[in-house]
Chains A and B, each alone.
Chain A
Amino acid sequence: MRYFVRRLIHLAVVVFAVTTLTFFMLNLLPGDAAYHTVSEEASPQDVEAIREELGLDRNVFVRYVRLLKDTVCGDLGTSSRSREPVMQTLMACLPVTAELLILSQIIALSLAVPLGILCASKAETILDTLLSSAAFAMISVPSFVMAIVLIYCFALKLGWFPATGYVPLSEGFLPNIKSFVLPSLSIALAEWVTLMRVLRADMIITLHQDYILAAKAKGVQPGSVLFKHALRPSSLTLITVLGINVGHLMGGALIVETIYALPGIARLMVKSILARDVAMVQGCVLFITVGCVLINFLIDMAYSIIDPRIRRRRPIA
């Protein structure tokens, strides 16, 4: 329990520092939200008036304290760009990013787990070498290059999926999934390699453990040995890497959301930064950071399920 409290405090400090830094960094950017509302034909007086309206004429620190107070009270404020409540917009964008990330993780895992097991069980064979080399090549493909290649092959040449664009769930499940296949693949294909390598390494070690040898000696089917006995204890590092990756994924999500024109949270953040929509950027940063924290927390939980011995002994960064 104390461990969790301490972690919570540590995280609170980091979240606070990140949002503070974001706020002041945004203020360093030339131009403010008033210039978003006006057009080129505005006079400097118009800009000043709008600045007043948005409360931008007040001191940076005053504004920051106010924002902080509102955030603590659970009010994320109103977007200066769309004049919609920040919460509402975030809630609209969240499912898009969530769907993208979840689908990509499912694809990555469904590639990594079977291939990782395969490579581990056939370690040091030609099959293993070939697969590992292919994986090594794949990890060297930047996600935007992967996206371009996927669009070219599967959308433009084969026409299986739409090239870009988002179809909301309200327009049918299949079209929705179809619009997510290529974006998720773009992320998954770059990521599964790491997962596979980690699983393969852990699996090799597990396969040399006595209890596996004992199971084999008892005549348990090889497939059953791999999936029932070896997979669970071998997936510790895999899970950790999944957690660490969540942070990186947001960067990947930005590129993918941009290329495929998905209205997700990463793109919302960039658009809001460009519009100096401070409230919205803060909302995005908060959501993303808390999201990462939550996922890592869940992964901590997963540890104790996978290996009950670990419980509360191992602090995971």
Chain B
Amino acid sequence: MKRVLERSTDSSLCNLPSRISVMVMCAVFLPFCLSSAGGEPPVAVKRRGGTVSVGLESDFPGFDPLKAHGLGLSAATALNLVGERLFDTAGDGRCIPVLGLSAEPSDDGKTWTIKLRKGVFFHDGSPFTADAVVHHWKRILDPANRFRGRLLLRPIRSVRRVDDHTVQFDLRAPWASFLTTISSIRFIASYIPSPKAVDAKTYDRAPVGTGPFMFKEWKTGERFVVVRNPKYRRQGKPYLDGIVFRFQPDPQTRYASLKSGQIDVMWTDRGNVILKAKSDKSLVTYEKEGPGATVLLLNNTKPPLDDLRVRRALAHAWNQDFFVRMAAGGTVPSVHDPFGDTLKCDDVGHREYDIDRAKALLKEYGRPVVLQMDHTSTPRGRVFAEITQQLFKRVGVVVKPAPCDYLQLRKRLITNAYQLSGYVMRGNGDMGPMLSALFFSGSPLNLTRYGQPEMDKLLIDQLTESDPVRRKSRLCSIARLLNKDVPIIYAGGIRHYIFARPEVKGIGPIDLGIARLSWVWLDR
């Protein structure tokens, strides 16, 4: 990744004109910022009070970015209530001010000045100022702290305080995804914590932020409770007295609890539960297609997968529609690129299911193909392996499923000791950084060890390209190249589902699968 940046700096010096077109992606000046979209009914109609229970699949790993290192879907749903980010992104990619009021890039695109909201306080009473932001980001960026997501943040050189309510980020090079990255809803570092709580080392298990709800209680494996922040800066909001997150790992349990009213909102990604819940007229379904994809990783360094013909043959032997139907009950779309609804490419040259072509390619290769597929011994992992084995068997490729626990699978992925494995390419509003991490030849996160000069160039270009249209065409070219060289095979896109009881109103857009519950109210 380091190399990415060095080279990106070079390329920007060589290729780009000295004056970079101003990136006014998020230079919004809205002194009276009411973030939510226009469709809301007037406040008077909304009722105050009540508690909503939310059923989540997994407990949280903690909230301190340096300890938890990542933010799962469940944890993001909760942290989004307690903490706030500098900006929010609307469905169409527009930037909405939250703790930040405006963000402006310098002429050369290498410095961003962010103006902060005044008169905001953390739940512990300490004021939200530039110092809090700088304290947080210095901690994240400090290489000694080894924040895991720092590889994605490498373009940021430093952060500094300008005045009480202004901070400046210095970049090593112009970076198109700067704002979306540092304020992504699924990025643990996006949420500004109270410096007091961080220094007291209590933030990890008792997060303190500026959000509409305050942390109250967390019983591991059982519940996580937040209550209304009475001093929240927006009059009359939030409406609820509190929100209780209940951890129910079994999707059937969650569904049954939702039906019986023990919980009011639930998340799931299990096909059969989704189908059942969707057809249930007494529940409201929120669904949204998202970026990202479930993929089959092909380790490009392990024979016979180092042979392009074999990888292409596997791509043609792969019946994505069959997979999606069998593994997810058809509740996710078949995809040809990882962009979901965030970007529409015309033609990315996806290799369609074609047994004859697969067989022809294998014949050309000429040797028998035997592959080991590592998978977790969970239902999800097993189903993935069983379908893969079955699909490839039809073209004479032998796949031997090798069940292991997730930790071992992780080790095999990180140490590059696998041939085939399932993997979920996490979705982000901007897939650029993720793609760079996964497919740049020098990136340590390049799980497939795919390396192509053409791909490297495209990845660097999209990183620095500021013109949206040109950047889009770069990203589409990346998707095309992925289909051409087949380091991964798509096993269904992402479609998020949230189910709620009808009396729960005001659930925000569920971008990236996170139910926005800040302004929920109960119509009982």
Contacts and interface: CB of A to CB of B under 8 A. Distances in A.
Are any A and B Cβ atoms less than 8 Å apart in their complex? yes
Interface of A: 29-31, 35-47, 49-50, 82-84, 88-89, 92-93, 155, 162-168, 261, 263, 268, 274-276
B70 A39 contact: yes
A261 B411 contact: no
A43 B253 contact: no
Given A38-B414, A83-B62, A274-B407, A49 B249 contact: no
A29 B252 CA distance: 31
B415 A44 contact: yes
Given A39-B70, A162-B256, A31 B407 contact: yes
A168 B62 contact: no
B222 A261 contact: no
Contact of A38 (B69, B260, B408): B69
B219 to A, nearest CB: 7
A127 B262 CA distance: 45
Contacts of A276: 407
Interface in B334-351: none
5 contacts: A35-B407, A35-B410, A50-B146, A164-B256, A261-B248
A93 B262 CA distance: 22
Contacts of B219: 92
A165 B248 contact: yes
A40 B413 contact: yes
A92 B151 CA distance: 37
A274 B250 contact: no
B318 to A, nearest CB: 21
Contacts of B69: 37-39, 42
A50 B69 CA distance: 11
Contact of B148 (A35, A46, A93): A46
Nearest to A175: B262
Interface of B: 59, 61-62, 67, 69-70, 146, 148, 151, 204-205, 219-223, 248-250, 252-253, 256-257, 260, 262, 404-408, 410-411, 413-415, 423, 437, 444-445, 447
B153 to A, nearest CB: 13
Contacts of A164: 250, 252-253, 256
Nearest to A41: B445
Given A31-B410, A45-B444, A168 B222 contact: yes
Contact of A274 (B59, B146, B406, B411): B406
Contacts of A31: 405, 407-408, 410-411
Contacts of B204: 83
A44 B67 contact: no
A44 B413 CA distance: 10
Given A83-B204, A163-B252, A165-B248, A40 B221 contact: no
Contacts of A42: 69, 148, 414, 445
A145 to B, nearest CB: 18
A38 B221 CA distance: 20
A165 B266 CA distance: 14
Cβ-closest 5 pairs across A and B: A43-B444, A165-B253, A31-B411, A261-B250, A164-B253
Given A39-B69, A83-B67, 8 more contacts: A30-B408, A35-B411, A36-B410, A39-B70, A82-B59, A84-B220, A164-B253, A168-B223
A39 B69 CA distance: 8
Contact of A43 (B67, B222, B408, B445): B445
A39 B423 CA distance: 12
A156 B221 CA distance: 25
Contacts of A167: 262
Contacts of B249: 261
Nearest to A44: B414
Contacts of B205: 83-84
Given A40-B414, A45-B444, A83-B205, A92 B221 contact: yes
A85 to B, nearest CB: 11
Q: Which of A35, A37, A43 is most buried by chain B, counting CB atoms within 10 A of its CB?
A: A35
A40 B447 contact: yes
Contacts of A165: 248, 250, 253, 256-257
Contacts of B262: 167
B250 A89 contact: no
A261 to B, nearest CB: 4
Contacts of A89: 220-221
A252 B406 CA distance: 24
A43 B256 contact: no
A263 B411 contact: no
Contacts of A92: 219-222
A39 B437 CA distance: 13
B414 A163 contact: no
Contacts of A40: 410, 413-414, 423, 447
A82 B59 CA distance: 9
A275 B248 CA distance: 19
